[in-house]
Structure 1
Amino acid sequence: MLIASAQPSRMVNCDLKITNIEAFPVSYPLPEGDSVTLGIGRAVKRDAVVVKVTTADGIVGYGESHHGRSVIAIATLVNTTLRHLVCGMDASDVVGVWAHIYKMQLGSHGMGAATSMAMSGIDMALWDIRGKAVGWPLWKLLGGQRKGIRAYAGGVALGYQSPETLVEEARPLVEQGYRALKVRVGDTVKHDTERVSAIREAFDDQLTILTDANCGYTVQDALDVMPVLDANRVQWLEEPFPAHDYRSYQEARGFGRVRFAAGENHYTRFEFNHLLNEAAVSYWQPDLSKCGGITEALRIAAMASAHKITINPHSAMSGINMAATIHFLSAIENPGYFEADAAKTNFLRDRLVKTPYQVDAKGEVWALDRPGIGVEVDEDFIKAYPATDGPAYI
C-alpha cells in the first residue's frame, strides 16, 4: 500500500495541526551471505524506526529515527513521551517543536542520545509535511537547487574479508560509477593495511579511498596504521576512537597527513561545538536520523561552514533518511559526500521505499523532484517486518 504519492500537491491554507504521531519499529534478518563483519561486530539484522506524522487536514509525513541498536526502545519513546509533547502543535513550526522537545525532554532528564534519535524522525516527517503542503521538493523548500552530489560506496558493506574478495566486491561498484568508496578497518593493523593497499593497487587513482575503523583503534593502532594510509593516499580515517574520546583524537591528529572524520555518533549542535573546539576532526558526519533531525543538521552545517568544514552525512539505514540526506546536501553551502549504501541486500532501501537515489556515471546522486522528501512508503512492508528483539551486531 503506497501512501505518500496520494498527498495533495498544494495546500497552502491547510490546517497543519499535528493530530497523530506513530513510530513503527522494523527489523529483518540478513541472509548469511550478506552478513558483513566490521569494527562493531558481524551484522545479523537490519533495524529501522519509521515515524509517521499526520495533520488535521490529512497530510502525512514520514521520517526516520535511527534505531540506536535498541529499535523497540526508540519507537516506544516516540510513541509515548514525544507524541504527547508534540501532538496539537503546528507541523510547520519545526523550530518550535524542536525547542519544545529540547526544553521538556532533551535538555533536562531526557535520555540524551535516545531522545535525539527519536526526535530526529519526528523532525524529518515535519519537513516532509511542509514540502507536501506547498508542493515543493525538500531541496527547494530548504533554499537549495537540484544538483549532482558526490557519492561514495559505503553503508554496511565492504567489510573484513580477504584483499582479493574485497577487490571483487568493489569492482562492480566502480563500474557502476562510484569514484570513491569506504574500506572497513579496525580489524588488525596488518589486515587493514593489506586491504587498503589492495584497493589502491587495483584501482590506482581512479578511486578515492576512505576508511572507517568504527571506533576500533587504540592510539597505538592509529600510529602504526597511519604510514600505510598516507602512502595509499587515503582521504580520511573515520571514527578511529569513540565519539567521546576527545583525548585520543587530540593525541593522534598529528600522526600523519590523513585527516579524521567523525560525527555520526555526535548528537545536536552542542556536541558538534565540542568537536569544533577540539579541532581534531576535519570532516563532519552528522546523521539526520540521529543528530536532531533536519532542523538541527542545518544548524550544524552552518556552524561548520564558518570554519570551512564540509558535511558528509552518515546515512546508511533506510531509504527515507537517504533521500532526505541528498535534499539536505543540495541545500547547504558546504556539502561533502553522500554515503550510498552499497549493501547487496537492504530491504529498507529497496522495499520500504522505491528508489531513494541512483548513482550516475559521474559518481553523483540527485535529489528526488517530488513534493517533500519524495519517497513512497509501503506500510504493508512495515506490517510484514515487525521489530525483533536482540542486537543488530554480534
Structure 2
Amino acid sequence: MRPHVPGSSDITRRGWLAAALAVTAVAPVSAKAQAARDRQERLDATRPLVIRSVEPLIIRNPPTPIGFDEPLDLPSAGDMTGGVGLWNRLDHASPTRFKGFEQAVLVKITTESGLVGWGECHAPSAPRMHQRVITDLFAPLLRGQDARRINALWERLFTTERVRGYSTGVQLEALAGVDLAMWDLLGKAVGLPVYQLLGGRYRAAQPLYRGIGGATLDALVADARAAKASGMQMVKMGYRKGKGSEDIERVSAVSEAMGRQGQVAVDSLGAFKLYEAIQAGRRFDRLGNVGWFEDALLPDDQASYPKLAEALETPVCAGEMLNNRFQIRDLLATRGADIINPDVCRAGGITECQRIAALAEAFNVPWSPHVSTGTILYFSASLHLAVATPNCVIMEGGNKLNGPLGNVLVRTPLRLEQGTAVVPEGPGFGIDWNEEALANVTVAGA
C-alpha cells in the first residue's frame, strides 16, 4: 500500500466531487433558463409590433452627387421613332431615365422594441415622389400601429387616395415599399422566412431569365450563349424600334442560339399599335421558341390585348404596367394575356401580388415576377413570393445579384445555381445589410 500523502488524493477526490456536483447543479438551471428564454421568445412573437418610425432612404448608383431637379433623360418633345413609312411616328413609349444612374427607395420601419424591417419601392427616375408619399401620407397613419396587421394596414393606405383615383403609379409603388417592410418585420419577429409566412414553398429554387444585349449581332448572340451556359433556359431581348428586318434578324439569331432546349422572350416596352404587334408576333410564331411577346402594345391600349392574344400562337405577356388586382382582373377576364408579369415593388408589394397570383391561377394563367432596377431586396422579395406560389414559372433578374446593388450590399450573399435562385432561409427576406456598403449608395440629406 502506498503511503497516503495528505492533501494529494483528497484534493483530487474533492475536486472531482465538486465538479460533479457543479454539473448536476448547473444542468437543471441551464435547462430551466433555456425553457424560460423559449417562453419569452414565444411571448415576444405574440406581442404587437408597434411602429415607431417609417423612413424612406433614396439609393443611387453610382453615388455621384447630382441634383434631383436636373433634367431627366427623355427624348425631346416631338421626337419620332425613326421607323420606315408609317413606323415613323411620335415616340410615346420611352420612359424617363436618370442619366444612367440606378435609383430606388428603401423603406425602413422600426418598432418600439427596436426591431427593423426593410422594404423597397421601384423609383428609377423621381424617387423623392415616393419619399414624400411615405413621409407625408403613409407614415403618420402607420406610427403607433401594429405592423402584424399587414392586410388591414395595406387597405388603409390604399384607401387614402383611392377615391381621388390614385390607385396606381407612385402611390402603389410607395405602398409596395411599406408592405414589404411589414412582411420583413413579421418574419424577423417570429424567426421565419417570408415564404413560410405565405404558406411554405413549392420549390427550393426558382428558374431565372435575364436580359441580353449587344451592339452587334455577334455580341448579342454571345451574350445569349453565355446565359444559356450558366443554366438559364430563357433570355429576354428588346424589339421595339420598327426598322424593318433588322430587329427580326436579331431575334432570329438569338432564337437559333437558344435552340429547341431554350427560349427567347421579346420585350417591346409598349411600343406598337395592334396591327404592328400582330405583324411582329406572326414573325415570332414562325421561329417556334419565342417564350413570350411582352408589353407589345402602347401603354394606353390595354383593351386591345385580347385581340392580340387571339391572333398569335406566341404567348402574350402583360402586367408590368398594371399596379393592382383590379387592373389585372380586367386583363384576365378578357383573356388578354397568356402569362402575366406584375412587379412586387410596383404592384403593392407581397400583399397585392399574392392576390394577383391567386387570381391568375383561377384563370389557369402562369405568372412571372418582373424585377426591374433596384437592390438585392427587390430580388429577394420577388423570390420569396415566387417560390410560395404554385403558378410561378420563371423570374426575371438573372444578373441582378452580380450588379453594384446586388450581393455586394449584404453580408450573406444570395445563391444562384444552374440558372436558378435559391430562396434564403433567414428570417424575413433574409437580407443582412453590410451597413458600410449600403451607406455608400445612400443619398445623404435626401
TM-score tier, shorter chain, comes to 0.7 to 0.9
Specify the alignment match of 1:172 in structure 2. Answer: 226
2:381 is aligned with 1:324: yes
| Deviation (angstroms), 1:351 | 2.8
User: 1:342 offset after TM fit, Å?
Assistant: 2.6
Residue 257 of structure 1 and its aligned partner are, at CA, apart by: 0.3
Query: In the alignment, which residue of structure 2 is the partner of 1:28?
Result: 61
Is 1:182 matched with 2:215?
A: no
3-state SS of the aligned residue for 1:236?
Answer: strand
CA shift in 2, pair 1:109/1:240, >3 Å: closer
Separation (CA, whole Å) in 1 of partners of 2:206 and 2:299: 25
Identity among equivalent positions (%) equals 27
Q: Deviations 1:114-159 (Å, cap 9, x if unpaired)?
A: 11000100000100011111111111111122624443332xx424
Alignment of 1:296-375 (within 5 A): 296-316=352-372, 317-342=374-399, 346-353=403-410, 357-361=414-418, 363-375=419-431
Paired AA for residue 201 in structure 2: Q
- Residue in 2 that maps onto 1:34: none
Q: In the TM superposition, what are the counterparts of 1:212-223 in structure 2 within 5 Å? A: 212-223=267-278
Q: Which residue of 1 aligns with 2:49?
A: 16
Q: Mean Cα displacement is larger for which, 48-57 or 377-386?
A: 377-386
| Residues paired across the two proteins, number | 374
CA distance in 2, matches of 1:150, 1:209: 18
Give me the whole-angstrom Cα distance separating, in 2, the residues matched to 1:343 and 1:127.
Answer: 22
Bigger shift: residues 178-187 or 252-261: 252-261
C-alpha offsets along residues 18-43 of structure 1, whole Å, 9 cap, x if unaligned? 11100111112499xxxxxxx73787
For residues 230 and 202 of structure 2, the distance between their equivalents in structure 1, rounded to whole angstroms, comes to 22
Report whether the alignment pairs 1:161 with 2:189.
no
Give the deviation of 1:281 after TM superposition.
Answer: 1.0
**Cα RMSD (Å) of the superposition?**
2.8
Aligned 1:1-394 pairs, distance under 5 A: 11-29=44-62, 40=94, 44-67=100-123, 69-108=125-164, 110=166, 112-145=168-201, 147-154=203-210, 157-159=211-213, 161-188=215-242, 189-233=244-288, 234-316=290-372, 317-342=374-399, 346-353=403-410, 357-361=414-418, 363-387=419-443
Q: Which has the larger radius of gyration?
A: 2
Query: Contact 1:30/1:46 (CA < 8 Å) preserved in 2?
Result: no
Residue 72 of structure 1 contacts residue 387 of structure 1 at CA under 8 Å; is this kept in 2? no
- Give CA deviations for 1:39-91 in whole Å, capped at 9, x if unaligned: 73787121111111111111101011110532121122112211112111111
Specify which structure has the bigger relative contact order, considering alpha-carbon pairs within 8 angstroms and separated by 6 or more residues. Answer: 1
SS of match in other structure, 1:120: helix
When residues 345 and 60 of structure 1 are mapped into structure 2, their CA distance, relative to the original with a 3 A threshold, is same
| Structure 2: distance between partners of 1:381 and 1:262 | 35
Q: In 2, are the aligned partners of 1:15 and 1:55 still within 8 Å (CA)?
A: no
Instruction: In structure 1, give the amino acid aligned to 2:51.
Output: I
Q: Where in structure 1 are there 5+ consecutive unaligned residues? A: 1-7, 32-38, 389-394
Alpha-carbon distance change, 379 to 83 in structure 1, aligned in 2, over 3 angstroms: farther
CA offset at residue 222 of structure 1? 1.4
- Do 1:230 and 1:257's aligned partners in 2 also have CA atoms closer than 8 Å? yes
Using the TM superposition, give the Cα deviation of residue 270 of structure 1 relative to its aligned residue in structure 2, in angstroms: 1.2
SS at match of 2:160: helix
3-state secondary structure, aligned to 1:216: coil
- Partner of 1:347, secondary structure, is coil
Give me the whole-angstrom Cα distance separating, in 2, the residues matched to 1:294 and 1:352.
22
User: How has the CA–CA distance of structure 1 residues 185 and 345 changed in structure 2, closer, same or farther, with 3 Å as cutoff?
Assistant: farther
Partner in structure 1 of residue 72 of structure 2: none
Alpha carbons of structure 1 residues 271 and 111: separation in structure 2 relative to 1, 3 Å: closer
Relative to structure 1, the CA distance from residue 339 to residue 86 in structure 2 (aligned partners, 3 Å threshold; closer, same or farther) is same
